[in-house]
Amino acid sequence: MNVRLLAPSALLIASTSALVCAQTQDFGKAYSFAERKAQTKVEVVIDRLLPSIVKVHGASGLRTIDPTASGIIVSKQGHILTLDQVLLQEGRTRVVLFDGSVHQAEVLRDDPDFGVRLLKIDPTAVEGELHPVWPPMDEGPLFRTGQVVVSLGNCFRLAEFSEKVSATFGVVVGRANTALRYRMADVKFQGDLILTDACNNPGHYGGGLFTLDGRWIGLNNRLLDSKETNTMISAAIPSRDLVPYLEELIHGKIRVEATTEVKPVWTGIVLFRQAGQQSPPAYVDRVIAGSPGAIAGLRPDDLIVRVDEYSIRSCVEFGKILEKYQPGQKVNLTYKRGTEVKQAVLELAEEKK
Amino acid sequence: MSTRLHVAVALAVASLTLPAQQGVDPDELLNLEPVLLQAMQKAAPFVVTVETFGGARKILGADGPADSAGPQPPRPQPPKPKPKPKPDDEEERPKPKPDMPLAQPGFHQTQGKTTGIILSSDGWILVSRFALNFDPSTILITLPGGETRYAERKGEDTSRGIALVKIDAKDLPFAEFVHPEQVQVGQWAFALGRTFGLEEPTVHIGIVSAKRRQFGRALQIDAYTSPANYGGAVVDIHGRVLGVAVPLSPAGRDAGVEWYDSGIGFATTIADIPEIVDKMKQGEVLHRGWLGVQLEMSHLGPGAKISGTPKDGVAAKAGLRKGDIILKVDGTVVQNGPHFQMLLSSRMGGDPVGLEVQKKNGEPAVSLTVILADTPYEERSKGQGEELPASFPLPEKK
C-alpha cells in the first residue's frame, strides 16, 4: 500500500524535475549561436544557392524608380544578370556579394527584348571563387505547375550592408502564355512567364527562382499588374529563354536579328463604334464586299471574341492585336453569331492608301 | 521499491529528453507536390474559363452616369424593393443606387476572364457571381480542350456569390462535390483557376481554416483567392470539389474582393444545397431571407425581443409588434437575440419559417408560419455586419 502510493508520487517528482532539466537544456539550445547545418531539402538548396545571389545598389534620387535590385551570378568572369527596370547609373553601381564584399560594377548592356541587364564585376577582386548558376540545358519542361520553388532576393531591401538576401518559399502557380502576357503592363519579355506565389517585392527583382534540386528556372520579374484581373502577380522570366542573350554577351556569340518593315494590315471589317469612354465589345457593323472579312464569311452583328489565342474584349483591342501581324498572314478568328461560337480563317491584306 | 523508482525516473527522463522532431521527416511536407499534381490532373477537366463581353460598366463609387457599352442584354431586372422606413432617430443616409454592380470601392474590377466548374455532363456550369457583375450581354465558356461555347445565363444566389450558366453539350466531365460535413478543418485545400492560359489550371495551396462560415454557406480557406481564380474549384487531395472560390465577407454584398490574396478566402459549399442549385437552374435569383424585425439587444434572453417591425416587412404583416418575444424558430428554442439572427441568417427568401411568439406575459405563446421575403437591396447593401455585431454580450449562465 505504502509502496503503491509512493511510486506514482516519486514518478511525478522525477518527471517534474526531468521536465525542468529538459526545459533549461532546450532554452540553452535555443540561444546557442553555433549555426546549425542545413538539413531539409529547402534548407540545403537555399544554403547552396545563397552565394550565387547578389544585391545591386544603383543611383538614388528618383523616388518612383527602385534604386535597389538583386542579381544572379552567371559566369566565373563576374557577369551578373539583373532586371533593367532598376535605376542604375554608370560609375555608381555597386554589387554586394554573399560574403558582404562590395564591388563596383560595369553596366554591360540592357536588353529591351528581355527587360534584363548584364553587369560585370572584376573577378580578381573577389576573395575566393564566384558561384555562377546556369539554366538547366537538358530537354524536357523547365518547370511545371504545382512545383515547389524557392525564390531568393533582397525583398524590400531588407538586407542592409553585409546581411544576406531573403529566401521565400512557394509553388509555381501557373504559366502565363503570350496572349495573357499581352494583358499585363510592363513586360518586355515576349515568351511565357512563370507565375509563382513565392513572395516577390521591390528589391527582390532580378533575384532567382529555383527548384528544390537547385535548378535555376527563373529571373524574378517585377510584380505584374494584370489587366485581366486588376491584381498584382509575381512572375519570373524562364531562365532557359535567357540563354541566347547570355551566350552572346558572355561567350561572344552573335545573335542574328531579323528586322522587318511594319506594314499595316486591312481586314475590311468595320466595327460597331459607340461614343463613350469605354471601348465597346468588337461587334461587326458592316463588312466591305470582297474584303478578307467578307471572304472569311463575317456578317454584321457578329461579335469578334478572339484572334488566334488573343482575347478581344473591345474594338480598340482588335486593332491593337492586328498590329502584331503582317499583310499576307492568316489568323484564326473566333466570333459569336447568335448563340453559336464560330471560327474562320482571315487572310490579312495590306492596307490600301 | 528503489529499483522501481529508478526505472520510473529513467523512463520519465527518456521520454522527455527525446526531441519532438525525431521520427518526423521535415521533408515530408514536400511530398505534397506529387499529391497536388494528382489532384490537379483529376480536377483540370472540369475547370473551365469564363469570358464575358459587353454589359453596363458601372463601377461602384462613381456617381456619374453609367457608362454604357455595347448592346444591352434583354435581361429581366429583379423588382426594385421599396425603401425600408427608417426610425425617426436614425440619421438620413444617402440611399445606395439600386442594381449597381456589386463591386467594392477601392477595387476596380476589370472585365477579365474568370473561372467556372462543370456541374453536369449536359452543360450546367457553376460560375462566380463576380464574373457577372458587369451584367454582360455575352458569356462564353472555353472548355479545357480549347473549345469555346456560347452560354446562357440562368439563376444565381446573391448570398453565396454563385451563379449558373448553361452551355449546349453532352458527355462533359463534371465535378464531384464533397459534403461540407465531411470536411475537416486543417485538411489540404487547393484553389484552381483557369484565368491565365488554357493548358493547365493555376494553383494555390492552403488548408481549410474554418467550416460553416457566412452562416453555414462557405468554408474559409487560406489558399490565395483573387479575381484570378474566383469561380474556380477548391479541391481536396483527391481532386474532389470542397467549394467554389468566391469573394465573400460578413460585410455583405459582394464584399471580400478587398481581401484577395490575404490568406482569408471563401469557398461556397455546393453538396449541401441541391435544392438551391435546382432553383438556380430554373433561373431564380435568390437572396438571403428577410423577416423585417429589429431586436432589443439589451434583452439577454430567453427568446429574442422585438424592438420594432418596419412597415411592409414580413413580420409586420404577420402581426408581430414591438415588445413581442420570439421563443422558438422551427422548434428550436431561441437563446437570445444574436442566436435568433444566427438561426435566420442561413435562410433564403421564400423559405417558410415557423415561429413561436409570446405576445404578452402570462399568456400562452402563439405559433405562426411566415414566408421570408428577399432581403431588400438597402438591407443587403448595408451589410450584415450592422445586423449582427461581431461580438455581442453572452447571457450569463446561472
Contacts of B112 in chain A (CB under 8 A): 183, 226-230
Surface-to-core class of residue A205, CB atoms within 10 Å of its CB (0-12 exposed, 13-18 middle, 19+ buried): buried
Distance CA B234, CA A322 (A): 37
Q: Do B5 and A7 touch (CB under 8 A)?
A: yes
Most distant CA atoms of chain A, gap in Å: 113
- Angle, in degrees to the nearest 10, between helices B2-17 and A2-30: 30
In a domain, B91, yes or no: no
Question: Cβ contact (<8 Å) for A336 and B109?
Answer: no
Which site among A37, A43, A230 would you substitute to test the B interface, given the most B Cβ atoms closer than 10 Å to its Cβ? A230
What pLDDT, on the 0 to 100 scale, is given for residue A57? 87
Sequence-separated (6 or more) residues with CB below 8 Å from residue A94? A56, A57, A102, A103, A104, A105
* Chain B (145-174) residues lying within 8 Å, Cβ to Cβ, of chain A: 148-150, 152, 168
B347 and B249 in a single domain? The answer is no
Q: Is residue B87 part of a domain?
A: no
Tell me which chain B residue has its CA closest to the CA of residue A340: B150
Tell me if B171 is assigned to some domain.
yes
User: Looking at the structure, do residues B217 and B307 belong to the same domain, yes or no?
Assistant: no
C-alpha B264/C-alpha B262 separation (Å) is: 5
Instruction: Tell me whether residues A146 and B37 touch, CB distance under 8 A.
Output: yes
Type of residue found at B247: P
Given this model, what pLDDT does residue A137 score? 83
Q: How many CB atoms lie within 10 A of CB A295?
A: 15
Inter-chain residue contact B53 with A144, CB threshold 8 Å: no
Report if residue B51 sits inside a domain: yes
Q: Tell me the per-residue pLDDT of B9-53, one tens digit each, with 9 for 90 and over.
A: 444 444 444 444 567 777 877 888 899 999 999 999 999 999 999
Which chain A residues have a beta carbon less than 8 Å from that of B4?
3, 7
* Å between B208 CA and nearest CA of chain A: 18
On whether the CB atoms of residues B217 and B160 are closer than 8 A, the answer is: yes
Long-range contacts of A314-317 (CB under 8 A, 24+ apart): A314/A278, A314/A279, A314/A280, A314/A281, A314/A282, A315/A271, A315/A272, A315/A273, A315/A279, A315/A280, A315/A281, A315/A282, A316/A279, A317/A279, A317/A282
Mean pLDDT, residues B238-253 taken together: 81
For residue B5, is it within any domain? Answer: no
Q: Are A313 and B197 inside 8 Å of each other by CB?
A: no
Confidence of residue B214 (pLDDT cuts 50, 70, 90): confident
Name A9's Cβ contacts closer than 8 Å, sequence gap at least 6.
none
Domain stops at, among B285, B303, B334:
B285
The verdict on B190 and B298 lying in the same domain is no
The residue-averaged pLDDT of A277-306 equals 90
Which range (A192-201, B149-158, B256-265) has the least confidence?
B256-265
pLDDT for residue A187 is more than 80: no
Residues of A in contact with B6 (CB under 8 A): none
- Can you give the CATH number for the domain in which B118 is found? 2.40.10.120
The Cα B357–Cα B363 span in angstroms is 10
How far apart (Å, rounded) are the C-alpha atoms in residues B92 and B285? 30
Q: Residue B33: list chain A partners with CB under 8 A.
A: 146-148, 171
- Residue A125's Cα: distance from chain center in Å? 31
For residue B189, the surrounding DSSP H or E stretch is strand B188-193
CB within 8 Å of A2: residues ≥ 6 apart: none
Q: Which long-range contacts (CB under 8 A, 24 or more apart) does B78-81 make?
A: B78/B285, B80/B377, B81/B374, B81/B376, B81/B377, B81/B378
For residue A253, the model assigns a pLDDT of: 61
Query: Is B111 in the same domain as B36?
Result: yes
Cell 490575404 maps to which residue?
Answer: B262
Range of the domain at B297: 289-387
Residue-level length of chain B? 398
In terms of domains, do B201 and B307 share one?
A: no
The chain-wide mean pLDDT, for chain B, equals 78
Interface of B with A in 298-337 (CB under 8 A): none
Provide the strand spans (E) within B213-295. 218-221, 233-235, 241-246, 265-268, 285-286, 289-290, 294-295
Which pLDDT score, from 0 to 100, does residue A177 have? 74
- Segment 237-276 of chain B within 8 Å of chain A by CB: 260-261
Share above pLDDT 90 across residues of chain A, in percent, rounded to a whole number: 37
**Once rounded to an integer, what is the mean pLDDT over residues A162-181?**
83
Distance CA B107, CA B128 (A): 17
Residues of A in contact with B204 (CB under 8 A): 171, 173, 197
| Domain-embedded: residue B326 | yes
C-alpha span between A288 and A280 (Å, rounded): 21
Give the pLDDT confidence of B137-193 residue by residue, as tens digits.
899 999 998 899 999 999 999 889 999 999 999 999 999 999 999 999 999 999 999
Indicate if B277 and B293 belong to the same structural domain: no
Q: Are residues B184 and B325 in the same domain?
A: no
Determine, for residues A336 and B13 on separate chains, whether the beta-carbon distance falls below 8 Å. Answer: no
For residue B96, what pLDDT is reported?
Answer: 41
CB-CB: which of A174, A227, A305 is closest to B200? Answer: A174
- Residue B364 confidence (pLDDT): 83
B303: pLDDT strictly greater than 80: yes
Could you give the CA distance from residue B337 to residue B135 in angstroms, rounded to a whole number? 37
A176·B196 Cβ contact <8 A: yes
The verdict on residue B16 lying in a domain is no
Residues of B in contact with A313 (CB under 8 A): 53, 111
Whether residues B321 and B355 fall in one domain: yes
Paired residues of A176 in beta bridges: A193
Write a three-state SS string for chain A. Answer: CHHHHHHHHHHHHHHHHHHHHHHHHHHHHHCCCCCCCCCCHHHHHHHHHHHHEEEEECCCCCCCCCCEEEEEECCCCCEEEEECCCCCCCCCCEEECCCCCEEECEEEEEECCCCEEEEECCHHHCCCCCCCCCCCCCCCCCCCCCCEEEEEECHHHCCCCCCCCEEEEEEEEEEECHHHHHCECCCCCCCCEEEECCCCCCCCCCCEEEECCCCEEEEECCCEEECCCCCEEEEEEEHHHHHHHHHHHHHCCCCCCCCCCCCCEECCEEECCCCCCCCCCCEEEEECCCCHHHHCCCCCCCEEEEECCEECCCHHHHHHHHCCCCCCCEEEEEEEECCEEEEEEEECEECCC
Which of A180, A231, A274 comes nearest B227 by C-beta? A231
Instruction: Tell me which residue of A176, A323, A86 sits closest to B196, measured CA to CA.
Output: A176
Shared domain for B244 and B311, answered yes or no, is no
Contact A177 B53 (CB under 8 A): no
> pLDDT tens digit string along B375-393?
876 665 554 333 333 333 3
Compute the half-sphere exposure of residue A173: CA atoms within 13 Å on the CB side of its CA: 30
Task: Answer yes or no: are the C-beta atoms of B288 and B345 closer than 8 Å.
Answer: yes
**Structural domain contains residue B23:** no
Asked if B8's CB is within 8 angstroms of A10's CB, the reply is: yes
Write down which residue in B285, B310, B328 finishes a domain.
B285
Domain boundary among B223, B253, B285: B285
Which of A133-142, A333-342, B383-392 is the most confident on average? A333-342
Asked if B280 and B268 touch (Cβ cutoff 8 Å), the reply is no
Q: Which of A174, A309, A313 sits opposite B203 (nearest CB)?
A: A174
Q: How large is the average pLDDT for residues B116-133?
A: 94
CB contact under 8 A, B148 and A306: yes
**B68: nearest CB among A22, A276, A334:** A276
A275 pLDDT above the threshold of 70: no
Decide: A52 and A208 in contact? Cβ < 8 Å. yes
Grid cell listed for A338: 447568335
Residues B252 and B206 in one domain: yes
Question: CB of B188 within 8 A of CB of B223?
Answer: no
Looking at the complex, report in whole angstroms how far the Cα of residue B124 sits from the nearest Cα belonging to chain A. 16
Identify all chain B residues contacting A10, using CB atoms and an 8 Å cutoff.
5, 8-9
Mean pLDDT, residues B256-270: 81
Cell triple for B28: 515530408
Domains in chain B, number: 2
pLDDT category at A163 given cuts 50, 70, 90 is confident
Of residues B122 and A234, the one with the higher pLDDT is B122
pLDDT value of position A59: 64
Query: Does residue B264 sit in the same domain as residue B223?
Result: yes
- Residue B378 CB burial class (10 angstroms; 0-12, 13-18, ≥19): middle
Q: Do B70 and A281 touch (CB under 8 A)?
A: yes
Give me the domains of chain A, ranges plus CATH numbers: 52-125 (2.40.10.10), 148-251 (2.40.10.10), 265-350 (2.30.42.10)
Same domain, B301 and B269: no
Distance of alpha carbon A13 from alpha carbon A241, whole angstroms? 66
Is the pLDDT assigned to residue A286 strictly greater than 60? yes
Give chain A's mean pLDDT.
81
CA dihedral A258→A263→A269→A273, nearest 10 degrees, is 100
Residues 36-55 of B with CB under 8 A from A: 36-37, 40, 51, 53-54
Give the distance from residue B259's alpha carbon to the nearest chain A alpha carbon, in angstroms: 12
- Kindly report the CATH number assigned to the domain that includes residue B323: 2.30.42.10
CB-CB under 8 Å, B30 with A42 = yes
